[in-house]
């Protein structure tokens, strides 16, 4: 599993300034968006951009059809994509899992191969053939929900695979639930909505959109306020702690005893 580089400094002196700047940019951007979403949203379904769908069709035929079939019907190399929806395509392509590089226990994350527009085009194309879960909108993703509720839902629904601190965990036959540190809110939402591979689907009856937002809020909270007690050793729990004490604790102590009993010369 690729490890994210440790954050060098938890609170840089300029952090507040940067945060305010980001906040301003978001509100400004949000305002600008709001004025235009009304128009954008109405035509998502029907005409969104026939051009985008056409573009997606070309990309799909070139990159995906060998496995998923020309009309999403699937093949021996890949499942049918009828009804998976734009959210699934956005998740799979946006996180680099698709196009599948090689058959294995599970599709691995890799640097995405397509630009955002191309991903959007693929999603539009797949959604245009049969309806399915849509890509979540920005206001479903804001991390300002109820972290407590999110935490409880996370412990009950997700921790058995992803670990309580979202550090990831093993499943059977080489499959695994990845670490959730640094995963984009959009992909967290889409993962719940579409249940990629061995992850169950948490549809909106199961975990409502508000609950999903709460889970995102919780995950973002523990990532942004991480490790109160010092470096977190990867949040891997007692195994990491035990290795640490044996290597560095006992190592240091033995080195010191050797030093103390060395003959002075």
Q: Which amino acids are annotated as binding site for heme c, given as ranges? A: 64, 67-68, 158, 161-162
Residue 221: CB minimum distance to ligand HEC, A? 14
Give min distance, CB of 153 to ligand HEC, in A: 7
Least separation in angstroms between residue 263's CB and other proteins is 8
Q: Does 222 help bind ligand HEC (rule: CB under 6 A)? A: no
Cα dihedral across residues 61, 65, 69, 73: positive or negative: negative
Q: What tokens does 260 get?
A: 């103390």
Stretch that binds ligand HEC, among 8-16, 32-40, 59-67, 136-144 (CB under 6 A): 59-67
- Taking CB under 8 A as the criterion, the residue among 31, 36, 238, 265 binding other proteins is 238
Residue 131 contacts which entry, other proteins, ligand HEC, none (Cβ below 5-8 A, type-dependent): none
Interaction of residue 98 with ligand HEC, rule CB under 6 A:
yes
**CA pseudo-torsion sign 47, 51, 56, 57:** positive
**How far apart are alpha carbons 92 and 166 in whole angstroms?**
20
Q: Which residue has the tokens 């700047």?
A: 21
Q: How many residues bind to other proteins according to rule CB under 8 A?
A: 60
Site residues (CB under 6 A) for ligand HEC, limited to 150-209: 157-158, 160-162, 171, 175, 177-178, 180, 183, 187-188, 191-192, 194, 196-200, 202
The single-letter DSSP state of residue 64 is: T
Answer for which of 164, 197, 210, 223 binds other proteins (CB under 8 A) is: 164
Q: Could you give the 3-state DSSP secondary structure of residue 169?
A: strand
The item of other proteins, ligand HEC, none sharing an interface with residue 237, based on CB under 5 to 8 Å by kind, is: other proteins
The CA-based angle 152-158-164, given to 5 degrees, is: 70
Looking at 69, 145, 151, 196, which residue binds other proteins (CB under 8 A)?
Answer: 151
Nearest-angstrom CA–CA distance, 122 and 57: 7
Identify the sign of the CA torsion 155, 220, 29, 113.
Answer: negative
How far is it between the farthest Cα atoms of the chain?
88
């Amino acid at each position: 599993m690729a490890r994210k580089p440790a954050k060098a400094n938890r609170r840089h002196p300029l952090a507040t300034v940067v945060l305010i700047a980001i906040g301003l940019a978001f509100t400004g951007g949000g305002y600008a968006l709001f004025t235009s979403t009304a128009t954008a949203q109405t035509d998502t379904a029907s005409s969104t951009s026939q051009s985008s769908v056409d573009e997606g069709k070309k990309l799909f035929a070139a990159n995906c059809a060998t496995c998923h079939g020309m009309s999403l019907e699937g093949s021996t190399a890949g499942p049918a994509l009828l009804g998976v929806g734009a959210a699934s395509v956005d998740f799979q392509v946006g996180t680099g899992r698709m196009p599948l590089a090689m058959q294995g226990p599970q599709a691995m994350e890799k640097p995405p191969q397509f630009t955002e527009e191309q991903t959007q085009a693929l999603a539009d194309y797949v959604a245009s053939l049969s309806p399915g879960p849509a890509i979540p909108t920005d206001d479903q993703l804001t991390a300002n929900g109820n972290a407590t509720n999110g935490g409880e839902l996370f412990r009950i629904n997700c921790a058995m695979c992803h670990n309580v601190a979202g550090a990831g965990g093993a499943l059977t036959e080489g499959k695994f639930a990845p670490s959730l540190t640094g995963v984009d809110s959009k992909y967290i939402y889409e993962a719940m909505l579409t249940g990629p591979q061995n992850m169950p689907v948490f549809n909106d009856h199961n975990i409502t959109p508000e609950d999903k937002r709460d889970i995102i809020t919780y995950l973002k909270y523990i990532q942004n306020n991480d490790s109160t007690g010092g470096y977190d050793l990867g949040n891997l729990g007692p195994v990491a702690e035990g290795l640490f004490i044996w290597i560095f604790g006992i190592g240091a102590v033995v080195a010191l005893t050797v030093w103390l009993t060395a003959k002075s010369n």
